[in-house]
Amino acid sequence: ISQRPFAPDYTAALAANYEHPLSATVTGIARLGFRHRSGGILIGPDIDMDSYNLLDAQLGVRFKQVEFAAFVRNALDDNYILYNNGLTGYQGIGSGLDPLTTRALVRDPGAVFGVRLTITM
């Protein structure tokens, strides 16, 4: 069976949302999400992707149709590694790199922190 490049072998996700009234018009909100991506291939059977985890969180308040929240995506700053299983063609002839030990580290774009203002009409 052929597998699509950059597609993980499997993924799993868990999410939790919590809201609590702080007053008659203001609601506190909290969200937490965890995703696991397991393995996969990059190009053909010779370059594999490592498993990795993503943790996302958000904390904020809602007032009528306005929501203000601080968030972090990929809070664990996790990444995945591409394993080059002895395939020299991807390194270029004469590169001097050892095909058995050379690894590439790829970000799943690092930890991202921010604030968000959402107005629902």
Residue 42: what pLDDT? 65
Q: Which mean pLDDT values do the consecutive 10-residue runs of the chain (121 residues) have?
A: 69 96 96 88 65 91 96 84 50 54 59 94 88
Mapped onto helix, strand or coil, the DSSP state of residue 45 is: helix
Residue of 94, 38, 98, 27 lying closest to 66 (CA atoms):
27
Residue 91: what pLDDT? 47
Residue 37: what pLDDT? 82
Residue 10: what pLDDT? 84
